[in-house]
Structure 1
């Protein structure tokens, strides 16, 4: 049995400090409750570098409590020992050292803070990895600023003074962030819903009971500064331990993943996100959807945090997302559901059609070439897609004419136009303004009314070249744009009578305003409608007239 002290595994070249905080507030029944880039290719040098540095773990299990308000728990100490045994095993984690704190004298607030300070005193290098694991009660309380925060309940935490005697989660994350390593993991599995054995102070409980929101507000510390924050349950849910498993449910499957079953891309090693995804899926199934482990990450790229095994090959390509913005979306690969986000999947090498869908709507679809060893973040692919499709070419048709009816009858009828346009999104002022250029031509053959009575047939032609600059806004598939416009207009009138055969033409440049609306049919095709108002001085019938023009254009476009 792994002793509740530091365990050293002599494996040169491996020094990872893993910081997993599993907060388990568990009931005393058979099932208790405890209160989810940049494009990357891993070449051989990068694969080898993933095992550089050292690995260390600090694992804390709090089972007994001085204050009778906190019910004692059964498995936190065993959770820490079981995870420590897997991490220390040379055939699995191969950690250089694993420290387990689960005796009563080791789980006071002062003892845990001392252990964290000792951890921070190590000479950390960027390629080292840190894991801190805490299994015990969790609760909510107001901090000194009056903000609602989550707290770890230590052995000596007093129910009536959580702020002064508990360990604030945000403080733990700050300690982890201060380490010199770039590979940091913090796992939180606290029952922050206030159910089960994760009790809440009366003042907080009373406030939450009077809150009409469907979900509790997330504390400020939810957006952790650490690299990875893994949680055994989602916000507002209870984490559970189970007699049949003899562990916290999430911890059981997390440890299970480290024996190689969590290696989804078959590269020989199990990363932190792979272990979490394995535990997340199995915890969801085991609890019949009542417990949904979650993840937050801020620094994940070419350097996955490896917890078990050794990289023996590049492995299959992976696509993943742990972004809260994509939570709940379904990932489709070649038209087949690959699972709901957050999470990741391993795919065969080659071109794959990926898509994000939610509520019957398609957010994004694109064909992506995947190579062996790549890890592609979906939010980065989505950003590349959006940024790579800032150009839209449209074919348009519509009418241009004088605003007043008298000018249309006596000077120039409305002219049918056809043309093309090019819009460059986010071209000016730090991507705040779009620029559009369009060219339209048209002609017609109608009759004009003469001042002396009667009508005269006239053929007319028009060529318009315009430039529009302005902002745009998007709501889902709908896009609205507007802005000032400058257009050059060439007009020609041809009178063909027995006694009069004369052509009149002129060129003018005039200012105006344009507004448009478009609707995305898919990832590339759009429908557009644009209206414009223009003001110009036009020489007609021997005198210059100040006139207003209006136009309406309808068309379809292609984004690239």
Structure 2
């Protein structure tokens, strides 16, 4: 067992960039199991990887077991959790941190002492590529601030239950202190929760308010607004984190530390990153607690995850895909048709083209084939944005045919005409992104004999120009898309009779209402094949008489989405 305070120093190692805030709710005293109150394309060679992660790593780890105010019950393992994590981070064969400071003594864990330790850390010379990890294990609570807003507070040794606002450490204040650090790669680890049990205690007024709130807990207002780049939590919002006597640790912290011996190196690049360690601990915590504790993560920056907690990069490693976005939480990721796990989290894949899909409740949200290379990390959110980045624009070249629906009009008025044109479709621009708008222009001409009432068979040259607008919804199932909606088309028609004794031209301009339906098939994220059919109805003057006629058209095309 280590003494209550110890600073570990090892050789300088690789530098890293990112913020991590990880809430790993340490432990409550109970029986054997206690309770306590969740893209960017990167491809680098080995030299670039080493340069990107070059620098020093420093850690400040704080564990608070006992409290001056008896309202906060004592905890068993926060101090040990901080020491166990510190030992691994300082080990030259594992974390290789240049300095690791562990604070657990009573005089070191007051609000003033913790703030002073943070300011002392900020005063040292920092390189922007340095990594700093801050870990705090202890009680957490919710309380009203001076403005009356509900805020998240960390309970220090001297925090008074009746004056949390004045004596606790507000989460936002802790983040502001971290912003003063010269490193751009900062990791904040918060081993606390606010469920109202175990390692969390809520003031009566707050508890009463939450009991009146449907669902027992308000929306996630705290981590969502965090300025940290990566927030790792031992349990999800409103859940209870647990410690276990058999593990002699907070459950999540036990597996987080375990991952740093190399077992968490998911992509086999020689190093364990912050997200890899979290994913290892998340899966094993979920299994160990039989689903009662769901570690979670919040990220505001994604990409190469340069926060390396153990090991050293020796090669680019396998490509990875991942998501820590709340909007994709609970979706199942399938790779080449096989379940690869539930989000949030990440998975390492073999190089090459992989068919990825997101499923939930038997429904397919998205599916695409993605080419992956060694060293890449692809955020699923960015892949979805490539497919649907708000209003989707598609430009298509089209060819097809347009003709009367009835045989008499095809014989006597205008034969079927081949057309070529261009179309533009804007996805999700009307009625809160529920309706698409399409505009198309097509032209064609031909020469054919028509059968007239007087004169028999007469050769006729014809020209057609059509401008149409379509409005309607569309649906997407993986690569397959469907669209439909009402259509209005303006048609300009010219007929030129080619007789020896008569040369006569007729021109008509009319506007037709109708309906369009289309089907599409995506070829990757940008290219698409389309087929569209349309029906139009109009009154057309022919030989001095006005006819009510129907027109039909079929078009095939290839489009580019941007």
Q: Secondary structure at the match of 1:12?
A: coil
> Which of the numbers 36, 41, 46 marks the counterpart of 1:34?
36
Matched, 1:232 2:244: no
Matched residue count: 538
User: Would you say the 8 A contact 1:415–1:442 is kept in 2?
Assistant: no
User: What is the match of residue 376 of structure 1?
Assistant: 378
Q: Secondary structure at the match of 1:304?
A: coil
Change (3 A) 1:495 1:365: same
Distance (Å, rounded) in 2 between the aligned partners of 1:533 and 1:204: 66
User: What is the match of residue 283 of structure 2?
Assistant: 281
CA RMSD of aligned residues (A): 4.4
Q: Secondary structure at the match of 2:55?
A: coil
Q: Secondary structure at the match of 1:208?
A: helix
User: Would you say the 8 A contact 2:111–2:156 is kept in 1?
Assistant: yes
Change (3 A) 1:32 1:428: closer
Matched, 1:490 2:497: no
Q: Secondary structure at the match of 2:126?
A: coil
Q: Tell me the CA shift for residue 186 of structure 1.
A: 2.4
Q: Tell me the CA shift for residue 57 of structure 1.
A: 0.7
Q: Tell me the CA shift for residue 514 of structure 1.
A: 8.3
User: Would you say the 8 A contact 2:483–2:517 is kept in 1?
Assistant: yes
Distance (Å, rounded) in 2 between the aligned partners of 1:511 and 1:146: 62
Distance (Å, rounded) in 1 between the aligned partners of 2:116 and 2:548: 78
How do 1:282-361 residues align onto structure 2 when only pairs under 5 Å count?
282-302=284-304, 304-361=306-363
Q: Secondary structure at the match of 1:344?
A: strand
User: Would you say the 8 A contact 2:259–2:277 is kept in 1?
Assistant: yes
Q: Tell me the CA shift for residue 46 of structure 1.
A: 1.9
How do 1:158-557 residues align onto structure 2 when only pairs under 5 Å count?
158-213=160-215, 216-302=218-304, 304-386=306-388, 390-391=394-395, 422-425=422-425, 436-439=439-442, 464-467=464-467, 487-490=490-493, 492=495, 505-508=506-509
Q: Tell me the CA shift for residue 307 of structure 1.
A: 0.5
Q: Secondary structure at the match of 1:436?
A: strand
User: Would you say the 8 A contact 1:24–1:138 is kept in 2?
Assistant: no
Taking structure 1 as the reference length, the TM-score comes to: 0.81
User: Would you say the 8 A contact 1:176–1:226 is kept in 2?
Assistant: no
Structure 2 stretches lacking a partner, 5+ long: none
Distance (Å, rounded) in 1 between the aligned partners of 2:460 and 2:533: 25
Change (3 A) 1:197 1:57: closer
Change (3 A) 1:46 1:445: same
Q: Secondary structure at the match of 1:207?
A: helix
Distance (Å, rounded) in 1 between the aligned partners of 2:465 and 2:38: 50
User: What is the match of residue 76 of structure 1?
Assistant: 78
Q: Secondary structure at the match of 1:180?
A: coil
User: What is the match of residue 102 of structure 2?
Assistant: 100
Q: Secondary structure at the match of 1:206?
A: helix
User: Would you say the 8 A contact 2:470–2:516 is kept in 1?
Assistant: no
Q: Secondary structure at the match of 1:160?
A: helix
User: What is the match of residue 128 of structure 1?
Assistant: 130
User: Would you say the 8 A contact 1:15–1:95 is kept in 2?
Assistant: no
User: Would you say the 8 A contact 1:22–1:133 is kept in 2?
Assistant: no
Q: Secondary structure at the match of 1:162?
A: helix
User: Would you say the 8 A contact 2:260–2:310 is kept in 1?
Assistant: yes
> Which of the numbers 155, 164, 170 marks the counterpart of 2:157?
155
Distance (Å, rounded) in 2 between the aligned partners of 1:532 and 1:163: 70
Distance (Å, rounded) in 2 between the aligned partners of 1:365 and 1:308: 34
Q: Secondary structure at the match of 2:143?
A: strand
Change (3 A) 1:125 1:361: same
Q: Tell me the CA shift for residue 309 of structure 1.
A: 0.4
Q: Tell me the CA shift for residue 470 of structure 1.
A: 8.4
CA deviation vs aligned residue, 1:86-127 (integer Å, no higher than 9, x gap): 001111101011111111111111111112222222332221
Taking structure 2 as the reference length, the TM-score comes to: 0.80
User: What is the match of residue 405 of structure 1?
Assistant: none
Change (3 A) 1:467 1:109: farther
CA deviation vs aligned residue, 1:214-256 (integer Å, no higher than 9, x gap): 7531114423221211111111211111111001100000000
Change (3 A) 1:438 1:90: same
> Which of the numbers 123, 137, 140 marks the counterpart of 2:139?
137
Distance (Å, rounded) in 2 between the aligned partners of 1:195 and 1:395: 67
CA deviation vs aligned residue, 1:388-438 (integer Å, no higher than 9, x gap): 98445677788879xxxxxx99xx999988867754455999xx9966324
Q: Tell me the CA shift for residue 365 of structure 1.
A: 1.9
Q: Secondary structure at the match of 1:123?
A: coil
User: Would you say the 8 A contact 2:13–2:96 is kept in 1?
Assistant: no
CA deviation vs aligned residue, 1:31-50 (integer Å, no higher than 9, x gap): 12221612110113321124
Q: Tell me the CA shift for residue 314 of structure 1.
A: 1.6
Change (3 A) 1:327 1:448: farther
Change (3 A) 1:333 1:15: closer
More displaced, 170-179 or 299-308? 170-179
Change (3 A) 1:235 1:516: farther
Change (3 A) 1:243 1:481: same
Q: Secondary structure at the match of 1:379?
A: helix
Q: Secondary structure at the match of 1:185?
A: strand
More displaced, 73-82 or 518-527? 518-527
User: Would you say the 8 A contact 2:521–2:530 is kept in 1?
Assistant: yes
Change (3 A) 1:148 1:513: farther
Change (3 A) 1:468 1:277: farther
Structure 1 stretches lacking a partner, 5+ long: 402-407, 451-455
